[in-house]
Structure 1
Amino acid sequence: MDKSKVFWEDLGVTAEISAFTPQDKIEEFHVMLHVKPRAELFDGQLKRIYEGEERLLRLPQVMGADVILKRYFLSDSTNQQPLMKQEADCSVSVIQQPPLDGSKVAVWLYLQKGCKVANVNGVIVAEHNGYRHLWKMGMHEHKGDSAWQTESLLISYEETLQSFNATLADNCIRTWFFVRDVDTQYAGMVKARKENFAEQGLTERTHYISSTGIGGLPADTRALVQMGTYALTGFEPSQQRYLYAPTHLNPTYEYGVTFERGTVMEYGDRAQVFISGTASINNKGEVVHVGNIVKQTERMWENVGVLLEEGGASFDDVMQIIVYLRDVCDYPTVNEMFARRFPDTPKVITLAPVCRPTWLIEMECIAVKKRCNEKYRDF
């Protein structure tokens, strides 16, 4: 894996790039674009970010890759999203989770080189070697409470999967739930998700889906929940396994929620490891180091490290990190800690309350590890 940074001084834009580029195989890239704040309005920063995206695609190592998804982190989604361009060639989500570097916008991009990519009825499909990777971001509703909206979103998504001969239980690998006013609305989302999963055959006796449930404001002020998803078809059930880290973490159902701590997808040439939103928690489901941002960050890293190890990977294989903070005043401390430990890994630190008030910080990440496994087809 190669990790690099590019700074375009005239734009004031930095691209943090992770590249997994095996010879004559599908290449993957995760990129975080950051814009240096200047004395300008949002549209000025957005224009520079867009120009940064264009320059990124002209870099020799990235040239020829297709953008699969973009997630824009905004400081004021309701007022800023109307200024953004409409895009149909990749899956886009826009969420109010302000970047804490002082800018109004940052973006995470995921790219692949060598796949056939198409928009099929609003789903971005990356197809190669018998696999179909299905990405659908930015789903939201504008009626009802958080439980009703969650149920509606899941039913709609399940209908979408049916058009690909797929199901939520068998094919969905990763979900994201962004919840407005997470301290009051999260419970409704959790209840509806649990009930829907049970109807789909997802229980504590079977499995759940890796996920992040976090505070975030959709642009539509009526939307209480926004959902993003990744699903896959064409794989053998044995290619997918779940991560538990029982020495450090407990099963999520023990405290009433329904997601997996992490998921590994094994291919012939690589493994992808999806780590769910992870915080400072022990294997009894208790928050550890209440009120101490440094200790919570260190315990969070410990938990993620154990999950990665169980998945046959390490922090060296992590291609991107998203960090969520409850208190903006913790940013200088956390930013210094992450910069020191992960100086080259693409990352963004945002303001986004975690689902328990005493959790000060949460992170998620995606890792890719080289494999030589003749049992499975290459990615």
Structure 2
Amino acid sequence: MSALKIDFTAGWYEAAPSTNVPDLLAEESGRLRLLSADLGLKHDFGAVGPVECPIAYDPVRGLAFRYVCAAGFRGRDFSQLRAFSVARGESYPLIDLPLNQWALWMLEWIASGQGHVGQLLGLHAMDRAADDRVVIEHRLFSLKLGADQLRLRPICRDAYKPLAFSRRRGEFIFSGAEGIYLLGLKGERKLSLPSVEDVGGEGAAFSPSGDAQVVIGGDGLHLWDLERNLCRRLTRNGRYPVWAPDGQGIWYRESSADLHYYDLAKDETQRILALPKQRHPEFWHARPVCLSRNGCYLALSITEKVLRGVSLKGSATGARERVYVHDHQLVVLDVKQQVYWGREGYASQLHWAD
């Protein structure tokens, strides 16, 4: 463990990882890495670039997928979707994209039955010149392994950032300037969240049972009933909700320095962990927790924000500014055994190789 002091709720304790814990894919410092159960480095796949894109994973073939691009001006500029073999420690490009196109914010692996090859589903972005400005267009894309081009579909007006996708329902949750929407696979708007109150739109999750329910984070957690188009608040604070696979509760963050669990049946919130003395909490480093497929393990990064001092030079307004430093820790929790372990470091993207 690092020097960070973590306050866990009663009943949790630090322990060594069990032998059943799967490997973990993590993007650390702009590089995709495969970590062993104890969070040690197993393989470094190399730089993936600065574009915010999740890691997708095919458990049958043991392949991870991510968008990658150049991370500076020293080397060759490129833009591509890439596959990473967990077993062989190798990577290869799936498709090269023009330099004005990229994939961001969403990447899902969709398995196919009866021995057919699966496909990637994601958000495609392209910049183009329009009069005296540059316009960025967003479209949905799918890519079958072995195909030489993306299949693109338009998105309805104002759908800007994807918040969640349900494979069982074939639906998306998107946010935009005018609100939050339910979209179909063709990019069409099927439903708009009632504008009763501002829910924020910082993360969302569909019910794992396939029921017509979505939890949305931002200004607290809100439960959206898609059949009746009604929304109610669950918690006062909360972002980046992740529905537990058993459907009984929701994991979420209140800052970069904590983890909470909301019990749906009891209508109760429990703080699982937090860093003490965080007088100025922020969300800059917060990400959704990464759950294993069986829900037994979860991984997340937590960040301590510490006041280092006050700048000697004043700002533009003449006032001196506080100077903060951030210390990070990558933590894994065994939910069933209520034990945890971790090490120093920060991962902006995580995915279990299970």
Report the TM range for the smaller structure's normalisation: 0.3 to 0.5
TM-score, scaled to structure 1: 0.36
In proportion to residue count, which structure has more helix?
A: 1
Structure number with greater CO (CA < 8 Å, separation at least 6) is 1
TM-score, scaled to structure 2: 0.37
In proportion to residue count, which structure has more strand?
A: 2
